[in-house]
Amino acid sequence: MKIAIEGQRLYRKRKHGMDMVALELINELQKLDKENEYVVFIKPDEDNKIFKETANFKFVELKGGPYPTWEQNALPKAAKAEGCDILHCTSNTAPLNPGMPLVVTLHDIIYLESISIFKKGGTWYQKLGNMYRRYVVPRVVKKSDKIITVSEFEKNRIRNFFGFPESDKRLVAIYNGVSEHFRKIDNQNELQRVKELYHLPDRFLFFLGNTDPKKNTPGTLKAFSDYLKKTGDDMYLVMLDYEQKELEKLLTEIGDKELIKRIILTGYVINTDLPAIYNLCKVFLYPSLRESFGIPMLEAMRCGAPVITSNTSSMPEVSGGAAYIIDPFKPEEITQGIEEILSNEKLRNKLIKKGFEQSAKFSWSNMAEKVLNLYETVYQKYHT
């Protein structure tokens, strides 16, 4: 069988969640499968040395304009020209006319939900992307042979939203993994290198906030502000890939413009430097309003960082009792979590120990094996 994999954004320098999942899937399939053929279609960009072609893996730089035209026109034509049997689209959308059996990874359907907290905020790029998904995804779902999602929570959300009967076996939950370079680091030179590179303080909390409303950045900043006022602690908050103007605007909204003196904005951090930041932080904050999985929680756990996360969506499922659970709509609970973890050594050590145990349950190799089995199921459907 010959499988086409969509990896449109994998050559861009600044990769994010869905990009990293697709990257890890491809890397693991290269190790796992030496029999079937693969063609990975990627839009040309500067980071084009991340893969090595092997006997059964071909990487094609495919031009085709902006995301919608690339996906709707260039991708299915190229996959058909290569003689592929299956097309796997990895990033929430797919061609409306794929021309072959279709597998879609639907990480989440947040952009389809009408919950008011997701209507405000976000960049114009995010809003336009969501408009495109709102049009494409309901139509693609009807045409998909298999739909992969990343948690039982999201599987149930998708099933209920689209009204899938229990007898419909197209929808499958396959957990994400955690990359091997996320680990406890004993090399003090490596820790010091990253600390100096990103101007990190000696004591800090780590937060992966961005402009997406679901990340709960205003609530997290309010909680941090309240913690400092309550304790007088000499603590900093490290945030990456966030603009200072946006931060200043949020701090004005929460009524603490002076808090900026306690916040370190690192800019974009390459994935291989993230483990050191997790290792150095005192607590990792992940109080999102809504997640389909939550890979950063597991990354932090593998690096020995205690985690604060939410009692909503997939986060209790994925954290598995190894995190301090809070209500993300109540900043005072985040504040309390920070205070308790920093002041209670027994609790801190318990969370760290449980975090190592929980994160060990997730691997990219296991994910890739399940995806490969799914490809074979789809192929057999049309070739028996």
Q: What is the DSSP string of 229-290?
A: HHH----EEEE-S--HHHHHHHHHHHT-GGGGGGEEE-----GGGHHHHHHH-SEEEE--S-
Nearest CA to 266 out of 278, 254, 252 is that of 278
Instruction: State phi, psi for 355 to the nearest 5 degrees.
Output: -65, -45
Both 194 and 162 in one domain: the answer is no
CA distance 260 to 250: 10
| Residue 116 pLDDT greater than 50, yes or no | no
Give percent above pLDDT 90 in the chain: 88
HSE-up of 329 (CA within 13 Å, CB side)? 4
Task: Tell me the pLDDT band of 129, cut-offs 50, 70 and 90.
Answer: confident
Burial of 151 (0-12, 13-18, 19+ CB in 10 A): buried
Sign of the CA dihedral running 337, 338, 343, 346: positive
Q: Which two structure tokens, joined as six digits, stand for 305? A: 């960082």
Domain that holds residue 241: 188-359
pTM for the model: 0.92
Domain presence at residue 182:
no
Both 97 and 153 in one domain: the answer is yes
Write the pLDDT tens digit of every residue in 16-37.
Answer: 889 999 999 999 999 999 999 9
Domain presence at residue 122:
yes
- Average pLDDT, rounded, for the chain: 94
| Residue 117 pLDDT greater than 70, yes or no | no
Domain presence at residue 278:
yes
- Strands of the sheet containing 307-310, edge to edge, are 263-265, 236-239, 204-207, 283-286, 307-310, 324-326
HSE-up of 249 (CA within 13 Å, CB side)? 8
CA distance 58 to 356: 36
Domain presence at residue 113:
yes
Do 17 and 296 form a contact (C-beta atoms < 8 A)?
no
| Residue 373 pLDDT greater than 70, yes or no | yes
Write the pLDDT tens digit of every residue in 298-357.
Answer: 999 999 999 999 999 999 999 999 999 999 999 999 999 999 999 999 999 999 999 999
Do 324 and 310 form a contact (C-beta atoms < 8 A)?
no
HSE-up of 325 (CA within 13 Å, CB side)? 12
Q: Write down the residue that tokens 């139509």 correspond to.
A: 139
Task: Tell me the pLDDT band of 113, cut-offs 50, 70 and 90.
Answer: confident
Both 350 and 372 in one domain: the answer is no
HSE-up of 80 (CA within 13 Å, CB side)? 11
Both 24 and 166 in one domain: the answer is yes
CA distance 53 to 47: 15
The pLDDT, as a whole number, for residue 69 is 95
Q: Which two structure tokens, joined as six digits, stand for 252? A: 């004005």
Looking at residue 203, which CATH number applies to its domain? 3.40.50.2000
Domain presence at residue 73:
yes
Nearest CA to 281 out of 223, 201, 227 is that of 201
Both 103 and 37 in one domain: the answer is yes
Nearest CA to 294 out of 304, 277, 308 is that of 308
Both 229 and 319 in one domain: the answer is yes
Both 172 and 85 in one domain: the answer is yes
Give percent above pLDDT 70 in the chain: 96
Both 53 and 169 in one domain: the answer is yes
The pLDDT, as a whole number, for residue 123 is 60
Both 162 and 243 in one domain: the answer is no
Task: Tell me the pLDDT band of 120, cut-offs 50, 70 and 90.
Answer: low
Cα distances (Å, whole numbers) of residue 44 to 8, 10, 145, 285: 8, 9, 29, 35
Please count the structural domains in the chain.
Answer: 2
Over residues 97-104, the mean pLDDT reads: 97
Do 147 and 172 form a contact (C-beta atoms < 8 A)?
yes
The pLDDT, as a whole number, for residue 166 is 87
Over residues 137-159, the mean pLDDT reads: 96
Do 110 and 25 form a contact (C-beta atoms < 8 A)?
no
Both 156 and 47 in one domain: the answer is yes
Q: Name which of 92-96, 241-245, 328-332 the model is least confident about.
A: 241-245
Q: Which two structure tokens, joined as six digits, stand for 105? A: 């990874």
Both 18 and 136 in one domain: the answer is yes
